[in-house]
Structure formats: structure tokens, C-alpha cells
Chains A and B, each alone.
Chain A
Amino acid sequence: MKIFRMADPLTTRLKHIIVDTLRLEGVKPEEIKDDEPLIGTGLALDSIDALELVVKLEKEFGIKIGSSEESKQALSSVAGLAAFIRQRADASKLPV
């Protein structure tokens, strides 16, 4: 029997935010792997991308990212970002 795992709504939403906010050409949200590094290697986002993303994430999920080091940690990967947001966001802000 084949088991279909439901995609996590938060990671799906984050992948869409990354592609839409940064207007990534030729990248589909579903192509971004959960554990793929976002900064430097992997998607190779830079500090200006990080700035745009952080502004969007703070607004959408009502979270605060306190420092550039915390920002780097949060943006380690989509999975890391989802965990970071779950720890800090009000549950009402999370997609279901």
C-alpha cells in the first residue's frame, strides 16, 4: 500500500513566500527541498534577500527576529524556518 504524506501547510506557505517575495525566476515552490540551505549555498539567497524575507515573515506571522545572527539561524532552511516560526508565532497566524 502506498502511503501519501500530507504536505505541511506551513512549509508549503513558506516556499510560496520565498518564491513570490523574492520573485525567483525559474524556481517553483514545490522544487525547494525542506532541508535545502537558503543562504549562501542551496538557494543561495543573499543579505538583501534575507532582509526582504524577514520583513515579510515578521508581518505575516507577527514574529520578531532580534538580530542578524538570529536571522541567519532562522533562514537556515525551510524546515528550520518553519520550526523557528512555530516556536514564536501565535497559532492563529499559522496556516492550517
Chain B
Amino acid sequence: MPRLADPNPIKVADCGCITPFGGAGATLAALLRGERALQPVPVGGIAGGDLVPLALLPGRDIDETALPSWGPAMKRLLAKHIGPQWGTAKRPVFFTSSNFGVGHLHAYGRTRDEKHLTFGSPYGCVDWLRRELGWGENFAIFSHACVSAHLGLVHASRVVSAGLADEALVVTFDFISPFVSGGFHALKILNADFPAPYMNRATGSIGLGDGAAYAVLKRDGDGFKILGQNLHNEMYHFTANQPDGLGFTACLAPLMEKTKGLRLWVKGHGTGTLDAGRMESTRMAEIFPSSPLTGWKGSLGHTLGSCGLVELAIAIEAIRAGRTPGTVGSSAPAFTPNVALEPFSNREFNAVLCASNAFGGAHAALLLAHD
């Protein structure tokens, strides 16, 4: 349930992400230049297969026979938070991912090599990571497909808001494995084409990307104010959205009162699939006709459960810079006129709505004030 009446809203005191471009600042700069991190990569990684658009961290192969190649990247991302100050009762950590180390579970199934077992379950993977980062045992794990990061943000906000913790650290990570890319390829939504979110074309496609991010949430002090958050599940079908797109509207309904008087821009989900992209841009155009809608998965690929926080970190950098990237990878005609294909100044706006959605008709939205 949304918590909208809190007179002392939760703030994002610190936030960062890592993508193939680097940190949030480097990623914003690349997006503003219209650069695409996605490259044609064999769907099975070192095992070969059809070429599909993947955005991997520099130097990282998708090789499920090796131990996690993303541990060093997580240490770089969280360098200033390494140590025993996190994972305590008053400073808990909320881990989210859609895939955790599922590639290792697959690798174990194929090879029976026990080195993969540590990473083959969500708990094993997270426990390994928190030990590497020197954190205590007070952590929680959340996962709900591609709204996983939003789910972690909502729960962490509530814990802090209720005074159960002084601050909370939300950590999210999703790194591509052959198991994951192979699954999306079998669905034919990860195919040879680069994604073009919200573009009205004959064939849809997505890309997949490595991504991780964190946010420190606090009740007091400085930071970007979270004005409201909501989660909604259509319960319509276990993969598809309900065809009228009303799930997008339902997720935003509890936030509408809070948006009154705000000048909003919208960071949408926009993976590059046709049906969901059309529904999202149409509903956003109905609800916020004067708000530009942008999405960055045409460059970064879909970072799956982590996308909500990876893209929030980039949105915060965009607010700081005063300039928001357009929908990289897309060109006219867009489904609706609200789609921002080019970068724009965000100085005339005072809030951003960050929206994500997921398999099974799961939706999430977070409303963030600019100051």
C-alpha cells in the first residue's frame, strides 16, 4: 500500500549505479550523447549461438562455467559502503534481483561442479556478496521479476518511515547469464534487432544489460524526496499485461493526488516490445499529456529486476545535470507524441515519475521531487 501522508518523506541520501558505460555520471553522459551500450553478442556467450543485443560490463564474457565475474564490479560500486556499518539492526540491507546467480544453478545442473552451489540460490548468492562487502547479517531479500528493485525500495522506505531503522541500504544487481539470455531468446522477444522503445514499427525486440545499483534511504537530512511509491499487480496473466493497458493506470491511481501541481517528466519502462510499449506510452499520454516520456533500455538494455534502481540513479544524475536523455535507439514515428526522442532540459520540471513493469502484469511507480 502507498504511504502518501508522511509529513517527513523518505529521502534518497545517496545513490549510484554501474552499467557498461561506468557509474551513473558516465552513463548519463553517454545517454545524452545518444550512445548505445548494446552490442551483438552470441546468445550463449562463449558457447555461441545467434547474435542478440547485450550490454555487458567491459571485459565480462557470459561464461557460466566460471565463478562470478561481477564480484569486482559490485565492490567498485559499493566501495564507500564496504564495512560492518551495514547489515545491522538499525542499518539493514535490502537486496533485490530477478536472477541472482541463476546461471550458476544452471551450470551446476549441467556440470555437477560444486563450486557453483554457493551462487546458485538467492540466499547463497546474497550471503556471499554481503560477506565480500563486510556487512552484517541483518539483510532481507526481495524478488519480483522486473519490479524487484522497486519492491526493495518500498519495503526499505517503510522500515525507515516506521522508525524501525535509522537508514536502509537497497542493493540491486542483475548480470546476464546464458540461461537468462537463452530464455528471452526462446520467447523471441530477444532477437537480432536492437530495441527501439516506444517506436511504432513492425517488429519488437529487447536488449538485455548488466546492471547494479544502490540507494541509501533516510528519514532525516538531505536528499531527494520520495513523494510516493506504489506497486500493483494485474493478476491477469502470468506473462502478459491485460490488453486494455489499465494496469498502468491502476498503479498510478494512488499517486495522482500527489502529482497535482507538479511539473513532471516520466522515465518509463520501455523495453522495446510492441504491445507493452504501446500500452505504456498511451496510458502515460492520457494521464500526463504534458509530461515527456523517456526510456533508456534502447541503449542500456533491460537490466531486469535491477532496472528500477539503475534508472533511478541515472534520473537523479539527470536532475543534477539539468538535462534528461531522450529515448536512445528510437526514432519517429513513436506510438504517442509524449515520447521524448531527443534529450531535453529538465530545469522547468520539479519531479520525475519512474515507472517499471514486469512479467505477470506487475507494475511499480516512484515519484521523486527534484530538490
Contacts and interface: CB of A to CB of B under 8 A. Distances in A.
Contact of B203 (A54, A55, A69): A69
Contacts, number: 40
Interface residues of A, number: 14
Q: Is the interface of A mostly helix, strand, loop or mixed?
A: helix
A66 B191 contact: yes
Greatest chain B CB density within 10 A among A54, A65, A66, A70 is at A66
B239 A48 contact: yes
A92 interface: no
Interface string A52-76: 0011000000001111111100000
Interface residues of B, number: 18
B240 A47 contact: yes
Interface in A33-58: 46-48, 51, 54-55
Given A46-B237, A67-B205, A51 B186 contact: yes
B202 interface: yes
B237 A71 contact: no
Contacts of A55: 186
A47 B237 CA distance: 10
Interface in B222-253: 237-240
A62 to B, nearest CB: 14
A83 to B, nearest CB: 19
A48 B193 CA distance: 22
Contact of A68 (B50, B187, B192): B187
Contacts of A51: 186-187
A74 B238 CA distance: 22
Nearest to B243: A40
A71 B240 CA distance: 15
A15 B262 CA distance: 57
Given A46-B237, A46-B239, A48-B239, A70 B203 contact: yes
A54 B239 contact: no
B120 interface: no
Interface in B183-210: 186-189, 191-193, 202-205
Greatest chain B CB density within 10 A among A55, A65, A68 is at A68
Contact of B188 (A46, A48, A66): A66
Greatest chain A CB density within 10 A among B189, B191, B202 is at B191
Contacts of B202: 69
Contacts of B54: none
B188 A54 contact: yes
B274 interface: yes
A46 B238 CA distance: 9
Contacts of A47: 187, 239-240
B239 A67 contact: no
Q: Which 9 A-B pairs have the closest CB atoms?
A: A68-B188, A67-B203, A47-B239, A71-B188, A67-B191, A68-B189, A69-B203, A51-B186, A67-B188
19 contacts: A46-B237, A46-B238, A47-B187, A48-B239, A51-B187, A54-B186, A64-B50, A66-B188, A67-B188, A67-B189, A67-B191, A67-B203, A68-B187, A68-B204, A68-B273, A69-B204, A70-B188, A70-B203, A71-B188
